[in-house]
Structure 1
Amino acid sequence: MTSPFDAPSSPAATDDRDANPQYVLPLVVRLERDTPPARTDALETSARAVLTLLADPRVTDPDGEWAERVTAWEDARIRKVVRRARGGEWRKAGELPGITVTGESAEVRVFPPVPLDGWPKELAKLQVSGTDLDDPAEPAAPAPGIPVLWLNPELEMSAGKTMAQTGHAAQLAWWRLDDTRRKEWAEAGFPLAVRTATPAAWAELTTADLPLVRDAGFTEIAPGSCTVVADHPALR
C-alpha cells in the first residue's frame, strides 16, 4: 500500500517535500497460497525489514551504494508500498538487490528506494491489493522492555496497508534515537512487537511525546488519520 505520512520528526521540511523528486520504498511479503504468515508476524517483520535497511552500511556509509537513494527518499514524502509474491515471483524478486528479513513464519524483502515511475519490472507486476492475513490465535503480551508499535483500535486496514504503517512507525522511532541507542537496537536484532492498543491506552499514547504516524490518506483511510504509535523505552 502506498502510505505517505506527515510527521514532525521527518528530516525533510514539510513545505519542500512535494517539490522534491518522489521515491518509494518497496517491500514484498511472501504469501504462498497454502502457508500464509500470521498477520502480527508479518507486521513485525515488515517493521524490522525497514529498520534493517536503514541500519545497513550501504545506507549509513555516505558513499554506500544505497545512501544517495535513501537520502532522496527521505527528503520527499516517505512512501512505502507493500506487494505480495509467491513461487516464481518471490524467487525473481529475491534476485534483485535488497534484504530479506524473516520472522516466525513471515518473510519480507525490502529494496532500496525507487522513483515512483521507475519500478523494476519484476516488482511492478506484483499485486498490491488483497494482502489480507489473520492471526491463528490472539498474540501474547509483548515481552517486557521491548519497543511496541501500537495500532489504532478504531481503524480497519488491510494487512498490506498496516505493514506499511508499522514500517513508518519503526522509522520514526529510528530517527528519534541517538547513535548509541540505534546501535544497541540493531545489535539486538531489532526486537519489537506490534499490538492493537485499547481505546484508553491509545488516548494516552497519542498525547505522549512518542513518534506518531499520521497517514496522508491516499488509500483506505481518511487523510490525517493517526495509525501507529512507536513506544520505544529509550524515548520515554
Structure 2
Amino acid sequence: MGGDPAGRLGRVSDNDIPESPGSPFRHERTERDEAPQFVLPLVVHIEKDDPPARTDALETAARAVLVMLADERSLGDGEWAGVMRLWQDARIRKVVRRARGGEWRRASALPGITVTGDAAEVRVFPPVPLDGWPKELARLQVSGTDLDDPRPPAPAPAEGPVLWLSPDLDMSAGKAMAQAGHGAQLAWWDLPDGERKAWQAAGFPLSVRTAGAARWRGLTASGLPTVRDAGFTEIAPGSCTVVADHPALRR
C-alpha cells in the first residue's frame, strides 16, 4: 500500500523530535531540504454564494490526501509513483488554493482526484515542482479560503479516527486543511498494512476537531503522530498543529 519511501519519518512530537532527525516537519534544515522540492496541490471548490462549511472542507481535504496516497497510480509503477516518491523524499509540502466557476472546471480537467464531503469538494493533484505549477493551478488564489461552520460540529465519534487541531493557533481554513492533510498522512504511514486497507475500504472516515487545552496537552504527550509546522506560512516554525488519533495507533 506504500509508506514513507525514504523510511525516515517516524512519529513526530515535542518529546521525540530529537530522535526523529528525518522528520519532514522539522524547521531546522535537513537533508530533505537538499532534495528537489515538490508540492501536493489541493484545490477547494468555493462558490461565493454557497461556500462549504469549514469542518467539512478540512475533513474532505484530509481524505483527499489519503485517497491520493492509496491510489494505484501513486504506487509501484503507477503513472504518478515517480513524483510521489520525489515529493515524499523532500519536505511534505501541501498548498491549498480555491477555485470557483470556470476556474474549478479548468482545474477539474487536469489529472487528479476529486473527493467530496457533505457539501465540500476538494481536488488533489499529483505533486508538482515547487516552481513548476501548471498554469491552470498557478493562477488560482491561496487567499479567500476562510470558511466558517454555521453551527458547532458534533462531537467526534469515540472510536473513529480524529485529527485534533491545536487550540492555541489561529489558522486560516486553507492552512488548517493542509495541516489536517499532514496529520492524515502521518497516520497512514504509521498504520500497519492491514489497518490501511481496512481504512481505505471504509472510505477513509475521519473527523477534524479542535482539542480543548487539557486534551491537547495529553495528546501531544501521547506518542501519537504529531505535526510540527515548518513555518513557511502563517505560524511560527516548530508549532505543533495536529495530532492524528487513529484507534489502531492508540497505546
TM-score by length of 1: 0.94
Aligned-residue identity in percent: 70
Matches within 5 A, 1:127-138: 127-138=141-152
Q: Matches of 1:141 and 1:85 in 2, distance apart?
A: 30
- CA drift at 1:75: 0.2
- CA drift at 1:36: 0.1
Number of residue pairs the alignment of both structures matches:
230
For 2:190, the aligned partner's letter is: R
Moved segments of 4+, more than 2 Å: 6-15
Contact 1:12 1:75 in 2 (8 A): no
1:100 to 103, 108, 114: 114
User: What is the aligned partner in structure 2 of residue 70 from structure 1?
Assistant: 84
User: What is the aligned partner in structure 2 of residue 233 from structure 1?
Assistant: 247
Q: Matches of 2:115 and 2:21 in 1, distance apart?
A: 27
- Secondary structure at the residue paired with 1:219? coil
- CA drift at 1:8: 4.2
User: What is the aligned partner in structure 2 of residue 148 from structure 1?
Assistant: 162
Q: C-alpha offsets along residues 135-168 of structure 1, whole Å, 9 cap, x if unaligned?
A: 0000001123110000100100000000000000
- Secondary structure at the residue paired with 1:170? helix
User: What is the aligned partner in structure 1 of residue 126 from structure 2?
Assistant: 112
- Secondary structure at the residue paired with 1:28? strand
Which ranges in structure 2 are unaligned for 5 or more consecutive residues? 1-7, 13-19, 24-29
User: What is the aligned partner in structure 2 of residue 13 from structure 1?
Assistant: 22
Q: Matches of 2:68 and 2:92 in 1, distance apart?
A: 14
> What is the root-mean-square deviation in Å for CA atoms of aligned residues?
1.6
User: What is the aligned partner in structure 2 of residue 29 from structure 1?
Assistant: 44
User: What is the aligned partner in structure 2 of residue 50 from structure 1?
Assistant: 65
User: What is the aligned partner in structure 2 of residue 202 from structure 1?
Assistant: 216
- Secondary structure at the residue paired with 1:54? helix
- CA drift at 1:7: 6.1
Q: Matches of 2:104 and 2:21 in 1, distance apart?
A: 33
TM-score by length of 2: 0.89
- Secondary structure at the residue paired with 2:118? coil
Which ranges in structure 1 are unaligned for 5 or more consecutive residues? 1-5
Q: Matches of 1:165 and 1:42 in 2, distance apart?
A: 12
For 2:22, the aligned partner's letter is: A
User: What is the aligned partner in structure 1 of residue 138 from structure 2?
Assistant: 124
User: What is the aligned partner in structure 2 of residue 188 from structure 1?
Assistant: 202
